[in-house]
Chains A and B, each alone.
Chain A
Amino acid sequence: MANDMNKQESKDSTMVEVCGLTKQFGDLVVLKGIDTTIQKGEVVAVIGPSGSGKSTLLRCLNYLEKPSSGHILFCGSPLGQILRKGQWCPLPEKDLDRQRSKIGMVFQRFNLFPHKTVLENVTLAPMRVLGVNPKVIKSKAEELLSRVGLYEKRSEYPSRLSGGQQQRVAIARALAMEPALMLFDEATSALDPELVGEVLAVMRSLAEGGMTMVVVTHEMDFAKEVASRVLFMDQGQILEDSPPQKLFTSPSHPRSEEFLRKILRR
């Protein structure tokens, strides 16, 4: 079976499979055995109190954080690992980079490149990583920027944009790599309240377009309306995995109930 895991073309609709994933920072155990599966086209919202391990789980999903143990299958291939003679070995960096290029990530603090214009932010990786022709990628980047409503800002530097605009550029930047999966790490948490809506709107249209998404969020309305599944995490574990209608109306775990009560009463 292990050999099949190395290169098994996923005929089924599974995008990500997480098996027994743990993560430890020194003595601190942040993830205590995560098992879950994400299907193509699913929008999975991850909620939970701070320190519950949501962001760490997300960062493991593209190997920005290396798991302490366990495996992640992405499109049927083990992420960041390879099986050699029955032994799990770290995947060569080059191959990991290739896997990562198929997984888009949007950060809480945008992390746009301040020394590049908006357009250059979007074109840099496709040009350097995929070797796309500059002319081709420029017109594609302009199209993506129009999609997030920022075509007019293409020649500006990020410092001239509002937080909401920066985050929309960051989404366009990730989409330019044509990822199969998009990860959102509290993408709206650093924004002024009046700017949250414009970013959520872009995420919503992305979800409607069929993109597979994992969204760590505190925006319960977004989770309720857009997510196909909601994971409730606490203390490094997934305590509940339900469709939003169920989780938000009749949570099955006492801790998720308590969390939702606290958060929704505000």
Chain B
Amino acid sequence: MEQQLGFWQFSTEIVLPRLWEGLGLTIEITVLSGLFGVGLGLIIALGRISRSKFLAWPALVYVTLFRGTPLLLQILFVYFALPSLLDIRLDALPAGILALSLNAAAYLTEIFRAAIQSIDRGQMEAGRALGMSYNQGMRYIVLPQTVRRLIPPVVNELAALAKDSSLVSVIALSEMLFITQRLGAKYLRPWEVYAWAALGYLAVVLVLTGLASLLEKRLAARE
């Protein structure tokens, strides 16, 4: 009977193999949502700082909406409410990634906006004075200068995203937390499984921050 298994045996034979699969899904969800979130966040940030009201205003509404409502609600909304609203049925995985991407994009928008606005105005002016368009100034002058100062806050956001990805367990995606809950209930040994899951998330975040500081050092060396 499994109840009789010792801690290590229970962990290595039952918990870790299952969690390992869940970790894979957690990483997949985090990486994809992170990529979409960064791309979307950058686009919305450019809208947010645009002089055109038609771009700035929807961007502000977007940020307000997605920062002002719970992520859990957004996940449930995308999965359960969108089908009846728009007549599109998303599987749990795309629905989860979509909700997380949209949410992360709102936070990343503000991160990008702050970074862009922290670049001295004279930089864009110098570009414009040389005959560059606003878009060229952004692309070749302003945005490249934001990269280094973006790394810490973006990594912070990605770490939050990795942990928030656990919320998609509510739409039955078998990522780490979902599996943990199942195992805990099945074997009635909650503390072991939850402790391992905690270590799993911690590992993801540590790898992320480690990569970030490596990247930051390499960029610092170049200047």
Contacts and interface: CB of A to CB of B under 8 A. Distances in A.
A binds B: yes
Interface of A: 62, 64, 93-94, 97-98, 100-105, 107, 109, 111-115, 124-125, 128-130, 157, 159, 170, 173-174, 177
Contact of B131 (A100, A109, A157, A170): A100
Given A100-B128, A174-B130, A111 B136 contact: no
Contact of B132 (A97, A115, A170): A97
B132 A129 contact: yes
B17 to A, nearest CB: 47
A199 B136 CA distance: 29
B8 to A, nearest CB: 52
Contact of B123 (A111, A130, A177): A111
A129 B223 contact: no
Given A64-B125, A64-B128, A159-B223, 7 more contacts: A97-B132, A103-B129, A115-B144, A124-B140, A129-B131, A129-B132, A174-B129
A173 B129 CA distance: 11
6 contacts: A93-B134, A97-B128, A111-B125, A113-B145, A124-B141, A128-B140
Contacts of B128: 64, 97, 100
Size category of the B interface is 10 to 19
Contact of A125 (B130, B144, B145): B130
Determine which residue in A64, A103, A104, A111 has the highest number of CB atoms from chain B within 10 A of its CB, and name it.
Answer: A111
Given A64-B128, A100-B128, A128-B140, A111 B133 contact: no
Interface of B: 120, 122-123, 125-134, 136, 140-141, 144-145, 223
B126 A111 contact: yes
Contacts of B133: 93-94, 97
A101 B134 contact: no
A114 B120 CA distance: 11
A75 to B, nearest CB: 14
3 interchain residue pairs of minimum CB distance:
A101-B131, A125-B130, A111-B126
